[in-house]
Amino acid sequence: MKTWKPDNGIPIKSWCNDLETGAAEQAHNLAIHPSMFHHVALMPDCHQGYGMPIGGVIACRDVIPNAVGVDIGCGMLAINTRLLASVFDEGILKSFMGEIRNSIPVGFAHHEDIQEWEGFNECPDIYILKKELHKATRQLGTLGGGNHFIEFQVSEQGELWVMLHSGSRNFGYKIAKHYNELAQELCTKYHSVVCPFKGEDGLAFLPHGTEEAREYITAMNFALAFASENRWSMMREVIKIIGVEYCDCEPAINIHHNYATLENHFGQNVWIHRKGATSARDGQLGIIPGSMGTSSYIVRGLGNQESFQSCSHGAGRCMGRMAASRNLTKEECDKAMEGIVFGRWGKDRKGNIDLGEAPQAYKDIDVVMESQSDLVEIVTKLKPLAVIKG
């Protein structure tokens, strides 16, 4: 861990060995932010995001919508089927992937029919929630795009695991956008010192105790519940396709890595914002995925106070989507995926091949794991067998 302290700011503590300039600048802005408490923590997968780095953890007196992010509740769900992975050859895995694509919408696609979830009946009476609720009933149980995925993996014990990555879909994005704009208006109105940072990459905040902050927290928590159920909805479908019952599986691990929650750290109750970071309390099970061509890990938290009991949420990007498509070739990306069942590389909006999710666009997951050996211990290592990307 490296530590440094900006002038007129709180310390920055980093587990990231290769912190890029943009992420370092964002960490500096956080360290001098009036709402921050104690220090800023950067996980080993840290890279530049919107407002604050992805892979960042902060403790605040107030709440910052952009420090949660636009995909509220984005997270992971993994389950051990207890089946031997050796039973499933390439042909069977391809068949599973075809069935999954037929039953789970990916990318911008939604379900044609309304999806059932009792949570819809408990939606808080908040404007933005009510406005987007009808659309959300068709977004439930959909994967989304970008780095969201459904993956079959084999453990070191030879067992078949199913892992998926998704969040609150456009529902969470609308909530985040609404409250970030509201936070910007309030910071401008009260001449907050964060006004120079406002805009798409802003750190505008909602003061703790205000009606606006309470409303955002309520809406955020509803989006978290929606995101959790979204993952469960897809997992139920995948489990049905491979022909096992939940009672025959190990207990699932279902976690968020974009959220804010009230926790006690260093003697104070503060709003911990984890943006692209996972809770790693002592003994808590977690999931740290690699890229679509590299291993993932099931981990157990060590409760390190210096990271606000957190760890990385994945390998982290080392190359932007457009940069990956410019600098990588299809041939080298295909080679990196040898032995793994996956579909064709997608296309961007201009019709060019999109290599933004290629393994080479991500950091080395094993280096990331080594960098956080004081944050988590490895329970098992999972190797990819087949993957569907959003």
- DSSP H or E stretch at residue 94: helix 90-103
pLDDT the model gives residue 191: 60
Q: pLDDT tens digits for 210-250?
A: 999 999 999 999 999 999 999 999 999 999 999 887 667 78
> 199: which 2 tokens?
């805009």
| pLDDT average, residue stretch 89-94 | 95
Tabulate helix, strand, coil % of the chain (nearest 5).
35, 30, 35
- Annotated catalytic residue, options 110, 148, 256, 313: 313
Collect all residues with Cβ–Cβ distance below 8 Å to 118 and sequence separation of at least 6.
none
CA distance 287 to 257: 10
pTM score of the predicted model? 0.94
Q: pLDDT tens digits for 274-315?
A: 999 999 999 999 999 999 999 999 999 999 999 999 999 999
The residue ranking higher by pLDDT, 348 or 251, is 251
> 304: which 2 tokens?
């390190």
313 among known catalytic residues: yes
Domains of the chain, each with CATH number or no CATH? 2-318+362-389 (3.90.1860.10)
